[in-house]
Amino acid sequence: MKNKYLVFIFLIILSSCRTEISKDNLQGTWTITNYESSKPNSSLLEIKKADEMLNKYTFKVDNTLEILSKRTGKITNANWELKPEINKLTLSNNPKEFIILNLTNNKMLLLQDFATIGRFTITLEKDK
């Protein structure tokens, strides 16, 4: 219960330094720096974390997306769609849906919710 309060307080603090969630602010190259789960001892978390932490995401002006696997060097192409009125980001590969919890000039906090296996919170930092 204490952890829930800490997360809530952290989100309130983060929201005070938010950047407008818009297509322009999302564009650029982002690297995952943290990957957490609502089920911290999940083996799925460890598998996803190991794989996802090795990816770079480049959101382009034309709503295309390049995902570079730093593990294999392979580039996967996809599309992305942003619905800023509901803070929803959709990637066409798989497809994946995220809620943008926070966006600043150099950090983004995403929530991916799977009803059966829990929630994943993903922190990305923008490359300079």
Q: Identify the domain containing residue 94 by its residue range.
A: 19-126
Whether 7 maps to a domain, the answer reads no
What are φ and ψ of residue 58, in 5° steps? -115, 110
Report pLDDT digits (tens) over 82-102.
999 999 999 998 778 999 999
Whether 84 maps to a domain, the answer reads yes
Domain count, the chain: 1
What are φ and ψ of residue 47, in 5° steps? -65, -50
Whether 9 maps to a domain, the answer reads no
Report pLDDT digits (tens) over 16-59.
556 789 999 999 999 988 888 777 666 666 666 666 777 899 99
Whether 116 maps to a domain, the answer reads yes
DSSP single-letter state for residue 39: S
Confidence of residue 113 (pLDDT cuts 50, 70, 90): confident
